[in-house]
Structures are given as C-alpha cells and as structure tokens.
A and B are shown apart, each in its own frame.
Chain A
Amino acid sequence: MLVRAEARIGLRGVPLRAAVLLSIVLGWAVGNASGAGAGLSALATGDAASTYLALVVVYWMAMIACRDQAVSAAAIVLSKPQPTERLVVSRFLGGYLQVLALLLTLFVGAALSRWWHAGTLAGFAAYGIQFFRAAVVLFFAASASYTLALLAGTPLAGALAGMYWLVTLAGQDYLAKVYYPYYTQNLPAFGFAGVFLISMAALLHRRSRRGALCAPIGYRLAPWLTLLLVVMAVRPIIVHGHDPLMRLSPLMEEMGRQDASLLGRSPGFTLPDQHGRLVSLSGTPGRVFVIALLEPRTEEGVRLLDRLRDLHERYGSRGVLPLAVCIANDQGAARVVAMGERLRYPVLVDWGTHHAPRAADRSPIAGAFRVSDMPSVVVTDRRRRIRDILEGIGTYDGPGLEEAVLRRLAEEPE
C-alpha cells in the first residue's frame, strides 16, 4: 500500500507526465526499424531504454531519494513510526514503478511507430523480451542512483551512477564486457547488484532513527546474500567468457585458430542457438550450409536474416541449412531478433564477440572466417567445403546468394 502511495506521488507530478510524453516520442523515433518482423525495432527500443532512458532514470531516482529535503517534508515523514528500512524500500519501489511506466510508454511508442510505418506487428513478442531486459537494466540504474543520493543526502551523488553510464557508453575500447549492465549475459549480476545496493541503503540510511531496535533479520541478511549472488553471477562470465580485456577462453581461441579459404573445409564451431541448444556443423552432416556472420543490430543484418528465412523455407527440405552467427556483445540479441523476425533456423550466439574496430577482430570466429566486411556469408557444399563467399550488400541484396545456393543444389541434389 505504501508502495502504491509512493508511486502515486510521482505519477501525478508534471515532470513525470512530461517524461512520459518524451518517452513516447523517443519510442516512436527508434521503433520505426526495418525488417519483416519487429526484431530490430525491439532491439533498438531496448537499447534506447538502456542508454538514454537510463540517464533519465538516474536523475529521477536521485530526486526521489532526496524528495523530502526538496519539499521540506522530512520532519513530518520521519516523525512517523514507519520503520526506516520499509520507508526506503517502499519509496524505491514506488519510484521504480514510475520508471516502469516510462519504460512501458517507450515501448508503446515504438510498437505504434512500427505498426504505423510497417503496417504489421509481427514478432511482437520480441518487445516483451526487450522490455524485461531494459527493466532489469533500469532497476540497476535506479538502485545505484537512489542509494548514492540517499546515503549522501544529495541528488548530486546519484550523478555518479550517471557518470558510470557515460563511461560505459564512451569506453567500449577499454572496458571489458562484464562492466556493461545492458548486456543480457550480465543482467543477473547487475540485477542482484541492484538488490544489494537497495538492501544496503535500507540498512544504513538513518540507522540512529531505530533507537535501541535492530533492523529486522531479513534486512540484515539481504546485503550478504545478494553480494554472494552477485559473485556467483559474475564468476562464470569471467571464467567462461571470452574478452581480451579480461580473460581469453581456450575454447574460443581454438575456434579462432581455424582458417577459411575457398574450396577449403569450413571452420567448425559449437555455439548456442536462440533456444540455448548447442549447434555445430558436425552435428548436422550432409547439409548445404549457408553460414552468415552478421550484426543483428544493423539493418543489413536483419535484412540478411529475413533472406535466410526465405531460403530456409524454400530449400530447407532439400538440405539447405542457414546458420546465422550473431556477432554482438549482447548475447541476448540473437534471441530477440530470432523471435522478432520469427526465424525457425538456428540463430547462433557468438559469445566470443568483443569490442574491436575491425570486423575480423570482433570475434575469433569472425577471424577464422576472415571477415572483412559485415555481413558475410559462406556457402558450403555437403562435405563442408567452402564454395562461395559473399560480403556486404551482395549478401542481402541481389540474386547472388540464391544463385550460389541453387548452384550447390544443382551440383549436389542430395
């Protein structure tokens, strides 16, 4: 009940209404993305939420943390018997509900834009995944800003969370992937970190207000438990991940040591698909593979994915199997785009992707395939030998790709 009352205080205010309006406009602007489905639109909307909206949230939650000082209501509120920790958590949750309202309007704006411009909302479920992802990211942004502002007693302290965000936006060349709250693989760690921060705020804020009483046991245990969960979530990212700025994975290094050449055997790989199942070339022998390495956040990448879907629908029964390898730092992008574009063929997550200026350097697998321009497509024969290599516009535009597949089928019908 207190959470609802806290939310109402902000939801009624003019600033939030203005922010909602801006949020719809932003959603409308980013939601109009190309593609047969809503995949790219959903990705763009989630990214806008995790970057631009996060900065708004940092400001918003810092103001909520210091609201009583701003309106001189602290004496009234603090003279009431409501326990401090409950007040801290309720106020945060009330503020977070306002954040979710903003997020929802952003996605509504994006979906409306998509429907208006493309005339369809096919793959709408992708918005759901992105909404959830952005909600966790904003939860962390909100908790960091709120906690800092609350404990320091000034909204300026909340700006430190905003600084972190700006550093992650600007520092892709020197920050390891694990520092990015908006990568799907990091969501559990940053989600738990958010809970950790809030539990610390609840425990430490105005401790003397409790008098001789102690905080309830749950509040005292929460920081330790959530800190443990943060460690448990971060450890596998570091130990099993691949990032030259943090730690190299021997498995990924092994995959990267292969070398693709025309008429040579295609480099092999084992990567998870959009459903989490491991997919490898050796696991499906005797197929004509259309291996596409692409960036799912680009228009070219999505157009190629749609192209591969057409090929799969038309020639899949004759042994053609497209394999889209998503070169993206965010390991959740493959799933979103696969759901948004309603793809039934394997869309693989290249978890070895990292920041690098050149396409071939972005992932060991891209290096193995000697990718110089994204997107890049390799067509193999049924014995896994590379027969055609296409790069850039030729992959998703013009007849080149389909002709290459038809050539394979003509030479090797079965």
Chain B
Amino acid sequence: MGLYETDLTIGEGIFALLGPNGAGKSTLMSMLATLLEPTRGTARVGGYDIRRRKDKVREILGYLPQDFGLYPSLTVYETLDYIGLLYNQRDAALRSQRIEEAIARVNLGEVRDRLVAYLSGGMHQRVGLAQALINDPRLLIVDEPTTGLDPEERVRVRSMLTELGRDRVVILSTHLIEDVAAIADTVAVLHRGKIRYVGTPSGMRETLRGRVWEITASGDNLADIRRSFTETALQRDGDRVRIRVLSETAPAADAQPVEPTLDDAYIGLMREEAGERQHDG
C-alpha cells in the first residue's frame, strides 16, 4: 500500500500506528527502517535523513518486522551474536554483554542455547525483539508484534514494550485496538495511506463522547438497527442482544448513552472516512 505525504513528529514513549490491513502501516515502518525508499518527501530519525544517512539511522534503530525468519541452524545466543556483528559490534566482550542484557530483558535465559528452529511462536517473537535491542536503540520499530500470539504471550510482549518505551521512542504498528488501549501513549490512525487521527488514546475516545449508544434489541428489530446505524459492538445477553451504535441523537427510546471505547472511536473514524469517499465520489 502506498503512503501519501504526511507531517508527523514522534517523541519518546510508545507511538501506535493503528489501521486495517493494507492501510500503509508496514510501508511507513519499512521507510523508517531504511528498507524502502520514499518516492517523495523524507523523514528524519534522531536528526538523520532516512534517504541520505541510512547508515546513521540504522545505528540508532531497532527493527522488528511483521513477518520475519531467523536462521534455524543457530541457537538463540548465536543468532544474537550474529546480529551484534551486523551492528558492527566487534568487541566480543561488549557484544556478549549486550546479548546477555537483551536475553534477560525478553526473558529468554532458559532457551539461550536452543536452536531457533525449535522455538515456539512466542519465543520466536521474543528473539525478534531481542535482536532489535542489541544496540540499545533510541528508536524501536515493532511491526504487528502481537499478531498470532496466544493471550499470555501477548500480555508479555506488551509488558516488554511498555518497559522499553520508558526511555526511548517505540513505534508500534498494529491492527489490534487492544494493543493500543493497553500500552500506547500516542496513537495515529492510518487508512488508505493517510493519517486520519493523531493524539492520545483518551483523546481519540473523546471524539465520540455523547455519540455512542447502547440498545437492547430483540431478534425482531436487530436487523433494522444494524441497517440504520453504525454498529461498533454486539453482545448476546440471553434471548436478547446488546448492541452499541454511533448516532448524533438517541437512536431509540430505550437507548442508553455509554462511555466511548477505542473500538467505537476507531470504527467511527473508519466510517467517517468511508462517508467522505462516498461523498467525494
């Protein structure tokens, strides 16, 4: 997916890029990681232009791609040792120290001598995170780090990212709103290559204050409600269904105004964008 010109300044803490599949998140990540050349415009990472001083950007960057592989014939330690060499860390003692720190940080001590080929999905992801930390990066880019992980491992990865976000910039790309809700300091919603929202998660929720309603519906009127309003959530409750919808005014006599969630805000943004396109068309 392409990316339109975007003005964005990202500071310390966890910056989440939220958007559906194909929104352009990975494209932006790849550009910041110097893997993809922008056709126009540029970006600066730590003061270095990503087009001209790629070498300098890479020195201060840690990158965990969305889908990545590791060399199956190496152990966890050897993998990180190899990555250390790619970071030009020639001092074996210093490299070893950095590896041990990274292993401890992502809690991989028990499997440090295990071949990468025999790691579980969660451990594989943690090795991926460890390799991005070997140079103690000022900017950490993680692309969909929790996708495909079991709930326990997902929580573990989020905790690690929270910890890491305390003293560096972490850019997190995700299509999981719960990731953003859990750990992001700032969120940007990206859709079809354009930034739709930038701000705090709470600010994103506030954009919908007073416009989110909950209706308890029976099977008879459920179809009508879904057709008439933008639905953001649905929950079965015995024979009845509780449905959350977006509306400027009360959509039904028994509709109750509720606190907006990030899901509501995200769906609202997507719906607005779809409405704009329909209008433009």
- Residue ranges of A at the interface with B (Cβ–Cβ < 8 Å): 1-2, 5, 8-10, 12-14, 67, 71-73, 75-83, 87, 208-213
| B20 shortest CB reach to chain A, Å | 21
**Contact, CB under 8 Å: B61 / A1:** no
Given A72-B68, A73-B69, A76-B63, A82 and B86 touching (CB < 8 A)?
A: yes
Residues on the B chain within 8 Å of A2, using CB: 85-86
Which partner residue on chain A sits nearest B72 by CB separation? A71
| B28 shortest CB reach to chain A, Å | 14
Determine if B83 is an interface residue (Cβ-Cβ < 8 Å). Answer: yes
What's the Cα separation between A5 and B34 when bound, in Å? Answer: 24
**Contact, CB under 8 Å: B73 / A83:** no
**Contact, CB under 8 Å: A79 / B74:** no
Most chain B CB inside 10 Å of its own CB: which residue of A5, A71, A210, A212: A5
Which partner residue on chain B sits nearest A16 by CB separation? B73
**Contact, CB under 8 Å: B52 / A77:** no
Determine if B51 is an interface residue (Cβ-Cβ < 8 Å). Answer: yes
Residues on the B chain within 8 Å of A208, using CB: 37
Given A76-B68, A79-B58, A79-B61, A8 and B83 touching (CB < 8 A)?
A: no
**Contact, CB under 8 Å: B73 / A13:** yes
**Contact, CB under 8 Å: A75 / B73:** no
Which partner residue on chain A sits nearest B141 by CB separation? A79
Residues on the B chain within 8 Å of A82, using CB: 85-88
- Residue ranges of B at the interface with A (Cβ–Cβ < 8 Å): 30, 33-35, 37, 51-55, 58-59, 61, 63, 65, 67-74, 78, 81-83, 85-88, 90, 92, 128, 131
What's the Cα separation between A13 and B71 when bound, in Å? Answer: 9
**Contact, CB under 8 Å: A83 / B55:** yes
Given A9-B73, A71-B70, A211-B51, A79 and B87 touching (CB < 8 A)?
A: no
**Contact, CB under 8 Å: A12 / B68:** no
Interface SS of A by simple majority = helix
**Contact, CB under 8 Å: A75 / B58:** no
User: A71 is contacted by which of B71, B82, B90, B131 (Cβ under 8 Å)?
Assistant: B71
**Contact, CB under 8 Å: A8 / B55:** no
**Contact, CB under 8 Å: B74 / A12:** yes
Residues on the A chain within 8 Å of B73, using CB: 9-10, 12-14
**Contact, CB under 8 Å: B68 / A73:** yes
User: A81 is contacted by which of B55, B78, B92 (Cβ under 8 Å)?
Assistant: B55
Given A75-B65, A79-B33, A1 and B85 touching (CB < 8 A)?
A: yes
Residues on the B chain within 8 Å of A213, using CB: 54-55
Residues on the A chain within 8 Å of B72, using CB: 13, 71
**Contact, CB under 8 Å: B83 / A76:** yes
Most chain A CB inside 10 Å of its own CB: which residue of B51, B82, B86, B128: B86
A-B pairs with lowest CB-CB distance, top 5: A72-B69, A80-B86, A12-B73, A211-B54, A71-B69
Residues on the B chain within 8 Å of A8, using CB: 74, 78
**Contact, CB under 8 Å: B83 / A80:** yes
**Contact, CB under 8 Å: B86 / A73:** no
| B96 shortest CB reach to chain A, Å | 12
Which partner residue on chain B sits nearest A12 by CB separation? B73
Which partner residue on chain A sits nearest B78 by CB separation? A8
| A330 shortest CB reach to chain B, Å | 37
User: A80 is contacted by which of B37, B81, B87, B128 (Cβ under 8 Å)?
Assistant: B87
What's the Cα separation between A277 and B41 when bound, in Å? Answer: 69
| A404 shortest CB reach to chain B, Å | 63
Which partner residue on chain B sits nearest A14 by CB separation? B73
Residues on the A chain within 8 Å of B52, using CB: 211-212
**Contact, CB under 8 Å: A75 / B63:** yes
What are 8 A-to-B residue pairs whose CB atoms are below 8 Å? A8-B78, A72-B68, A76-B83, A79-B35, A79-B61, A80-B86, A81-B87, A211-B51
**Contact, CB under 8 Å: B88 / A5:** no
Residues on the A chain within 8 Å of B33, using CB: 75, 79
**Contact, CB under 8 Å: B88 / A81:** yes
**Contact, CB under 8 Å: A79 / B85:** no
What's the Cα separation between A76 and B143 when bound, in Å? Answer: 12
**Contact, CB under 8 Å: A78 / B35:** yes
Residues on the B chain within 8 Å of A81, using CB: 55, 58-59, 86-88
What's the Cα separation between A10 and B71 when bound, in Å? Answer: 9
**Contact, CB under 8 Å: B70 / A73:** yes
Residues on the A chain within 8 Å of B78, using CB: 5, 8
Given A9-B74, A79-B34, A79-B35, A209 and B54 touching (CB < 8 A)?
A: yes
**Contact, CB under 8 Å: A5 / B58:** no
What's the Cα separation between A82 and B82 when bound, in Å? Answer: 11
What's the Cα separation between A362 and B150 when bound, in Å? Answer: 73
Residues on the A chain within 8 Å of B37, using CB: 208
What's the Cα separation between A5 and B87 when bound, in Å? Answer: 13
Residues on the A chain within 8 Å of B81, using CB: 5
User: A76 is contacted by which of B30, B54, B131 (Cβ under 8 Å)?
Assistant: B131
| B125 shortest CB reach to chain A, Å | 13
What's the Cα separation between A5 and B81 when bound, in Å? Answer: 8
